[in-house]
Amino acid sequence: MLILECPYCGVKAEETELHAGGEAHLKRFGPGSTDGEFHDYLFMRENPKGVHFERWRHANGCGKWFHAARCTMTLEVFGTYSAQTFEPPQEIRDAITAKRPGWTWRDLK
Amino acid sequence: MSDPVSALNGARFDGIASVEEAGLCGMITLRGDFASAGFAAAVNSITGAALPEVGRIAEGTEGAAAWMSTDELLLMVPYAEVEARLAALNEALKGEHALAVNASDARAVFRISGDGARETLAKVAPVDLSAEAFQPGDFRRSRMAQVAGAFWLNGEGTFTVVCFRSVGEYVFKLLSASAHPQSAVGIYKA
Ligand SMILES: [Zn+2]
């Protein structure tokens, strides 16, 4: 069972209180973008075995969206953080580096 | 004017805990900026309560205020006064970026009391309800089996449970089954 701490209400919520929202930190390409950019925005997703960044919503709780960094292989959770950011904060990156030295994800490392 | 009637007309079940429908309760959903002094003053003016801390309910002289999220409170006031209090709240909120609505008739309210109250709720919600983890004044939004609900604990060990009125009968039957005398687990026995 996956347990994530909601950064807004502090609740350690188990999976049934949460709604998975897919990959984190996607940049939206809409009107004015090229067909290639729009295609990648719509369809291209990371599917890593290991470090991953996701969006989750505390659906049966405070209702807020937040971010989580976790390992898809072991279900280890490195941390959760606010939705009001374009990239993972430094303390989350440090927590991942401590457990998975040399990790990469898209253009992050 | 028609007589307002609560969802289950005061239904009651007695088992390892007593489950009873609490009747009509005035509830105002309020969203706004908690950091604004004017917002806190408006909450206080109609409930007598301070802003609740995260995950808590603040009791006031005239009502109560519960923490629903970083920008949402549930204000509880007497049912008969809810429209007047809402008008007063809107007056007090003039100039604030906030929204308040009377949600009283959208809800059903239950009380769970007795020795088995913690266990009755713990069997249907993914929440640690041990005495150390869940204390009087704690307020939690979660789910009860298949539906959303919120609850808090008072100083006498009684839980108040709030859910949507449309699932009121489901929640009553759920809590009654969970309080059935032959369903006792005894997990929180001292
Ligand atoms: Zn939350």
Nearest neighbour of A17 by CB, restricted to B54, B55, B126: B126
pLDDT grade, residue B122 (50/70/90)? very high
How far is ligand 1, taken at its centre, from the CA of residue A16, in Å?
13
Average pLDDT over residues A68-94: 96
Q: Say yes or no to pLDDT of B190 above 70.
A: no
Containing B176, the helix (H) or strand (E) segment is helix B168-178
Phi, psi of A11 (to 5 degrees): -75, 135
ipTM over 0.95: no
Which two tokens mark B2?
């028609």
Average pLDDT over residues B55-80: 97
- The CATH number of the domain covering residues in B12-23+106-180: 3.30.1360.120
What would the pLDDT profile of B4-48 be if each residue is shown by its tens digit? 899 999 999 999 999 999 999 999 999 999 999 999 999 999 999
The pTM (predicted TM-score) of the whole model is 0.93
Q: Which residue of A has its CA nearest to B124?
A: A16
Q: What amino acid occupies position B14? A: D
> A4 - beta bridge partners?
A13
What would the pLDDT profile of A27-76 be if each residue is shown by its tens digit? 999 999 999 999 999 999 999 999 999 999 999 999 999 999 999 999 99
> According to the model, what pLDDT value does residue A52 have?
98
Class assignment of domain B26-105? alpha beta
Phi, psi of B79 (to 5 degrees): -55, -45
Tell if the CB–CB gap between B54 and A61 is shorter than 8 Å: no
Burial status of residue A90 (CB atoms within 10 A of its CB: 0-12, 13-18, 19 or more): exposed
Determine how many CB atoms are found less than 10 A away from the CB of residue B101.
12
Burial status of residue A28 (CB atoms within 10 A of its CB: 0-12, 13-18, 19 or more): exposed
In angstroms, the separation between the Cα of residue B127 and the nearest Cα of chain A is: 8
Contacts of A9 in chain B (CB under 8 A): 54-55, 67, 69-70, 141
In angstroms, the separation between the Cα of residue A84 and the nearest Cα of chain B is: 13
Q: In chain B, list all ranges with CATH 3.30.1360.120.
A: 12-23+106-180
A contact set with B (CB within 8 A): 8-11, 13-14, 16-17, 60-64
* A35 Cβ neighbours under 8 A, 6+ residues apart: none
Which two tokens mark B86?
């809402």
In angstroms, the separation between the Cα of residue B102 and the nearest Cα of chain A is: 19
Tell if the CB–CB gap between B54 and A9 is shorter than 8 Å: yes
Phi, psi of B183 (to 5 degrees): -100, 5
Task: Tell me the Ramachandran region of residue A75: left when phi exceeds 0, alpha when psi lies from -120 to 50, beta otherwise.
Answer: left
Percentage of chain B modeled with pLDDT above 70: 99
Which two tokens mark B69?
């999220």
**Domain map (residue ranges) of chain A:** 3-99
Class assignment of domain A3-99? alpha beta
Assess B126–A contact: CB distance below 8 Å, yes or no. Answer: yes
> According to the model, what pLDDT value does residue A31 have?
94
How far is the CA of A15 from the CAs of A11, B6, B149, in angstroms? 12, 33, 16
Tell if the CB–CB gap between B69 and A60 is shorter than 8 Å: no
> According to the model, what pLDDT value does residue A109 have?
87
Q: Which residue of B has its CA nearest to A3?
A: B126
> According to the model, what pLDDT value does residue B1 have?
66
- Listing DSSP states for A2-58 in one string gives -EEE-TTT--EEEGGG-EEEEESSPPP--TTS-HHHHHHHHH-----SSEEEEEEE-
In angstroms, the separation between the Cα of residue B2 and the nearest Cα of chain A is: 34
Average predicted confidence (pLDDT) for chain B = 96
Q: Which residue of B has its CA nearest to A12?
A: B127
pLDDT grade, residue A1 (50/70/90)? confident
Distance, first Cα to last Cα, chain B: 50
Average predicted confidence (pLDDT) for chain A = 96
